[in-house]
Amino acid sequence: MMRYLIVLAVMLLPLNAFAFTGDEIMKKSQAVFLYPGKDFKARVMMKLISKAGQERIREMAMLRKNYGEAGGDQRYFIYFFQPADVKDMTFMVYKYPAKDDDRWLFVPAINMVRRIAAQDKSSSFVGSDFTYEDISGRDIEDDAHAIIREEKLGERDCYVITSAPKAGDVDYSHKLSWIDKANFLPLKEEYYAKTGEIHRVFTADEIKDVKGFPTVTKRTMKNLKTGHRTEVGFVKTDYDIGIEDSLFSERYLKQAPRKWIE
Amino acid sequence: MKKAIMRLVDLSVNRPRLIVLLTIIITIPFAVQFSKIRIDTDPENMLRDDELVRVFHKEVKKTFNIEEFLVLGIVRDDGIFHKDSLKRIKRITDDLLNIKGVVADDVVSLTVTNNVVAKEGILNVRPPMVKVPETQEDIDRLKKEVLDNPLFKDKLVSSDGKGVVIYVPLENKAIAHEVGGKIKEIYKKEDGPERYYMAGLPIAEDTFGYEMFLQMGLFAPMAGGLLMVVFFIIFRRLSFVIPPMLVAMLSVAWTMGALIGSGFTVHIMSSMIPVFLMPIAICETVHILSDFYEKLPRVNDRKTAILQVFDELAKPLFFAPITTAVGFADLALADIPPVKVFGVFVAIGIVFAWLLSMTFLPAVLMLIKERRPILKKEAGSRALAMIGRFSLGKSMFVVTVGAVLLAISSYGITKLVVNDNPVKWFKKQHPIRIADRELNKLMGGTYISYLVVEGAHEDDIKRADVMNYIERLQRRLEKNPVVGKTTSAADVVKRVNYALHDEDGKYETLPNEKDAIGQYLFLFLMSSAPDELDNFVDYAFKKANIWVQLKSGDNRDMTGVVKYTEDYIKSNPPPDGIKVEWSGLPYLNITWQKLMVTGMLKATIGTWWVVFVLMIFQFRSFWWGVVGMLPLVFSVAFCYGLIGFAGKEYDMPIAVCSTLAIGLGDDFAIHFISRFRERFKAAGDLKSAMEWTMGGEPALAIFRNALVIALGFSPMAIATLTPYVTVGLFFGFLAFFAGIVTLIFLPALIGTFKGALLKKQQEVLR
């Protein structure tokens, strides 16, 4: 129903009202948000905060390398510093847009690397309020995107885009994104549950320029239903540092290379 | 005092219209308050806000993110592991997640709650049934997977494979009834061999509140209506029916209006105020009316008759209700907030009723136009006179019988079992009781207690010795027959260890190093939702929570489990720096039960002393005070003895009823003794004074009162909430006993102890 209304609304607009289509904007946005550079590294500080205000800290080094065009394959290498008892634990993901990811985890206590089965991409990323999709993106083709309006969010001019999943097996009904017209970064996203209520809200809280790439260095995902939220901060962010393919291997999972994770 | 009262009555008979008008005007502001009514059914509110146990319970709920949830059980007699049943379960769960007010992320069910498994070397954290299995082989595999897992077996799936349970957390518990209705709509759409049961405390509470309204709206007026019918049958005079009912209704309206208007919520206790107030109010008016219609034919002038009645009755009419009111007000000393409110407002209501009896009642009597006042000796009076002669003649015998009965009752009282269970406030055949029974038969128990293990430092819970202690506590608890199931973080750690080692049974154990435990918990956390472990450990890993599922919500059983655990802890002390403490609703319930039993006992005993002192004061005689107390002692002893012998448990409503006994018992005795002594003063002869009291209006009024109350409240026995049933039945028996004791034992007691009782008075006479 919602979708038809949106289509109708879009059809009623004058033809040349927008320079871009919804698809084009989302594609551009994905490229600048999740695929900038050939590769990327950051020290990630993640704070999980419960409804009652209790906090858990995750600190990790995150390395990413792109394979192919924006929207294509990616590899992630994550090394955990905190909590203290999981120091040396590492986690690796081979991300494929059109099929299930491959994931590996190294458990130092038993000195063993285990393959981890990938659930649907909307499952939680390392126990946070972010999903794997929020971290590495959802296939643009999977959703119908449409511009519903343009408005200011704070100081910034934004496109407001609705994205409705084409297949029915997704646990939300649609997403609204506020995309900055200037740099195409998403400044805010609202995920709507099938009941029509807002389920999760993403906000980009700080944006910095790193090597010419506008980068969201502080972000929050809040689950309005459970009251739980996750705050993420990036420090020591860098791009195009020449991460070699060999890093993404079982060998380095067991013995994370110093030069990348200091 | 008496002068002031008589002035009030004088005004009322001279300006009846003004008084009636004033009464109506005063009623309006009270009646307006009713729109502001707020119902409170939370049993937690039986405890003070700052009661330690309650504070800890709140903290535990917050620390472990424990929400209020509904429990939906789906049962199929030939096993739930059939493709069509599993499809229904999947459909129902999917629909549940989309109900407004349900915390979808925290729903616990086969289709959304994570399990840790290993398959072909791949570790998999996912719900057991993401999709409904197609082949029989896959169905069997699913069944084995969940029944093999202690985190699922008897919590989500029954060990016989016949039922599954879905836990549905709510954003707040005030919407439980509403969400329950929507869940019902969802499963009503399915047609299959499955049976559905809905349980859980919030729905019980919310449903209780809903039905409480019905009962208050239905049974209080029904009891009132029946009282009117009984009145009419006995007195055959409409003028005898309407004034008492008006007085009762007005005092109830004023009292409830005052209660709601002062901002109090209507709790299960205060919802019973009308039911308690009505008979007390009616008793007063029956005394007045009985005397009035006895006098009216003789003087043939309404005003004179009324003034004579009040002149004669002013004292007992004042002292009886005041004694009762003080008795109820004494409940304010109990440490249970709803009981305080109840006691104080019943007392206020009694004062209202007294005031109305002194003003509104005579005014109404003045306005009633009756053609022919009838003077006829009632058949009842002759029988009562006979009883009086018998009791007085064979006083020693009657007193001995009474003493024997008292002894037997005391024995019955020793057999009283103190127990309560809020779910049992519903009748046996209520859907909530049925669901409760079926689910507890099937699963590990729907009554969830929390055993909190608290360390001194962060990460203490990850210590191997602490994890091991948690595990040992669980195994020990599970040996108790009331405990159906326990789950904790230790089960999660063991599960991860098992799965990491390719489901090798050797590794279904706890590792010996803190780091390994920490990593296993982390692994589980990073593979599932952010709050998946919240119910088991706090964020700092300083506290752990063992879920203890009990098959019974009886306070007696929880008390047993607490004692059982204490014994174990005493002989197996926890590791250094570790404290173990109970929380959860069943534990809260036993705490308020303790307060209730001791509190009510203390309050009741206190009340007795107050009433006793008041009686001595008003009779100006110690011995008359003692005699005046005896009907109370007797009727209470008989009632509780009967309860003891019948095997009925001493629960909250029964505890409250003991105060009512004081209200009714002393009313009968005060009237009897006052009237008897007045007569004795005039006649100076025991026999003729007794003949006048028993054969005339005083005994008849008491008899009528007892009859009206016993019959009038009998419909409450068919109420759907057991507290109402209990109170209704108790009323009946109590009125019956109090009447008998007053009318049979009092003459005998007076006969037996005439020396002590009458000597002084005879001296006065001389």
- Is residue B194 very low, low, confident or very high in pLDDT (cuts 50, 70, 90)? confident
- Is residue B701 very low, low, confident or very high in pLDDT (cuts 50, 70, 90)? confident
What is the DSSP code (8-state) at residue B743? I
CA separation for the pair B132, B278 (Å, rounded): 60
Tell me which residue in A52, A86, A225 faces B63 most closely, judged by beta carbons: A52
Q: What is the overall mean pLDDT for chain A?
A: 83
Which of A225, A229, A230 is best to mutate for the B interface (most B CBs within 10 A)?
Answer: A225
CA separation for the pair B41, B211 (Å, rounded): 11
pLDDT tens readout for residues B425-437: 787 888 888 888 8
Respond yes or no on whether the N-terminal peptide bond of residue A83 is cis (omega within 30° of 0). Answer: yes
The span from the first CA to the last CA of chain B, in angstroms, equals 27
Same domain for B649 and B750, yes or no, is yes
pLDDT at B45: 76
Same domain for B464 and B414, yes or no, is no
List the CATH number of the domain containing A209.
Answer: 2.50.20.10
CA separation for the pair B286, B298 (Å, rounded): 19
- Does any domain span residue B568? no
Q: What is the overall mean pLDDT for chain B?
A: 82
Residue B660 has pLDDT above 70, yes or no: no
Q: Which residues of A touch B125 (CB under 8 A)?
A: 116-117, 119
For A195, nearest residue in chain B (alpha carbons): B98
Q: How far is B198 from chain A (nearest CA, A)?
A: 23
For A115, nearest residue in chain B (alpha carbons): B122
Tell me which residue in B126, B525, B540 faces A127 most closely, judged by beta carbons: B525
CA separation for the pair B259, B216 (Å, rounded): 15
Write the Ramachandran bin of B120: left for phi over 0, alpha for psi from -120 to 50, otherwise beta: left
Q: What are phi and psi of B161, to 5 degrees?
A: 70, 15
Q: In this structure, are residues B170 and B101 in contact, taking their beta carbons and an 8 Å threshold? A: yes
SS3 A231: strand
pTM metric for this prediction? 0.78
B32-46, B265-279, B569-583, B748-762: range with highest mean pLDDT: B569-583
Tell me which residue in A55, A119, A129 faces B539 most closely, judged by beta carbons: A55
pLDDT tens readout for residues B672-682: 888 888 888 88
pLDDT at A120: 66
Q: How far is A20 from chain B (nearest CA, A)?
A: 34
- Does any domain span residue B577? no
- Does any domain span residue B534? yes
Answer whether A52 sits within 8 Å of B528, measured CB to CB.
no
Would an 8 Å CB–CB cutoff place A197 in contact with chain B?
yes
The span from the first CA to the last CA of chain A, in angstroms, equals 51
Range of the domain at B469: 445-550
Same domain for B591 and B641, yes or no, is yes
- Is residue B345 very low, low, confident or very high in pLDDT (cuts 50, 70, 90)? very high
- Does any domain span residue A152? yes
- Does any domain span residue B574? no
Q: In this structure, are residues B109 and B181 in contact, taking their beta carbons and an 8 Å threshold? A: no
- Does any domain span residue A260? no
pLDDT tens readout for residues B451-467: 898 888 888 888 888 88
SS3 A183: coil
Answer whether B519 sits within 8 Å of A85, measured CB to CB.
yes
Q: How many structural domains does chain A have?
A: 1
- Does any domain span residue A162? yes
Answer whether B119 sits within 8 Å of A119, measured CB to CB.
no
Q: What is the largest CA-CA distance in chain B?
A: 110
* Closest CA relative to residue B69, chosen from B168, B149, B211: B168
Same domain for B29 and B159, yes or no, is no
- Does any domain span residue B217? no
Residue B765 has pLDDT above 50, yes or no: no
- Is residue A15 very low, low, confident or very high in pLDDT (cuts 50, 70, 90)? very low
Answer whether B519 sits within 8 Å of A171, measured CB to CB.
no
- Is residue B258 very low, low, confident or very high in pLDDT (cuts 50, 70, 90)? very high
Q: What is the DSSP string of A55-66?
A: EEEEEEEEEEEE
Residue B203 has pLDDT above 80, yes or no: no
- Does any domain span residue B437? no
Q: Which residues of A touch B516 (CB under 8 A)?
A: 109-110
Same domain for B27 and B131, yes or no, is no
The two three-digit tokens of residue A80, written as one number: 């955990």
pLDDT at B221: 75
pLDDT tens readout for residues A25-36: 888 888 888 888
Tell me which residue in A109, A115, A124 faces B123 most closely, judged by beta carbons: A115
Same domain for B637 and B666, yes or no, is yes
Answer whether A116 sits within 8 Å of B123, measured CB to CB.
yes
Would an 8 Å CB–CB cutoff place B528 in contact with chain A?
yes
For B535, nearest residue in chain A (alpha carbons): A50
List the CATH number of the domain containing B139.
Answer: 3.30.70
- Does any domain span residue A5? no
What is the DSSP code (8-state) at residue A86? G
Would an 8 Å CB–CB cutoff place B4 in contact with chain A?
no
Task: Tell me the CB-side half-sphere exposure of residue B138, using CA atoms within 13 A.
Answer: 10
Mean pLDDT within B520-530:
80
pLDDT at B752: 82
Write down which residue in B523, B550, B577 finishes a domain. B550
Number of A–B residue contacts, CB under 8 Å:
109
Task: Judge residue B516's burial from the number of C-beta atoms within 10 Å of its C-beta, 0-12 exposed, 13-18 middle, 19 or more buried.
Answer: buried
Counting every residue written for chain A, the total comes to 262
Would an 8 Å CB–CB cutoff place B504 in contact with chain A?
no
Tell me which residue in B65, B125, B515 faces A51 most closely, judged by beta carbons: B65
Same domain for B599 and B731, yes or no, is yes
pLDDT at A220: 92
Same domain for B614 and B716, yes or no, is yes
- Is residue B96 very low, low, confident or very high in pLDDT (cuts 50, 70, 90)? confident
Q: Which residues contact A258 (CB under 8 A, 6 or more apart)?
A: none
The two three-digit tokens of residue B255, written as one number: 């009292």
- Does any domain span residue B231? no
pLDDT at B664: 67
Same domain for B356 and B393, yes or no, is no
Residue B255 has pLDDT above 90, yes or no: yes
Answer whether B500 sits within 8 Å of A112, measured CB to CB.
yes
List the CATH number of the domain containing B682.
Answer: 1.20.1640.10
Answer whether B103 sits within 8 Å of A225, measured CB to CB.
yes
- Does any domain span residue A10? no
Range of the domain at A73: 18-253
Q: Which residues of A touch B170 (CB under 8 A)?
A: none
- Does any domain span residue A113? yes
Same domain for B475 and B541, yes or no, is yes
Would an 8 Å CB–CB cutoff place B538 in contact with chain A?
yes
Which of B527, B535, B541 is best to mutate for the A interface (most A CBs within 10 A)?
Answer: B527
Answer whether B122 sits within 8 Å of A114, measured CB to CB.
yes
- Does any domain span residue B229? no
Answer whether A109 sits within 8 Å of B539, measured CB to CB.
no
Same domain for B630 and B766, yes or no, is yes
Report the amino acid identity of residue B358.
Answer: M
pLDDT at A142: 83
Same domain for B535 and B643, yes or no, is no
Task: Enumerate residues 439 to 468 of chain B having a beta carbon within 8 A of any beta carbon in chain A.
Answer: 459, 462
Q: How many structural domains does chain B have?
A: 4
Q: What is the dihedral of CA A162, A163, A168, A169, to 10 degrees?
A: -130
Q: How many CB atoms lie within 10 A of CB B102?
A: 23
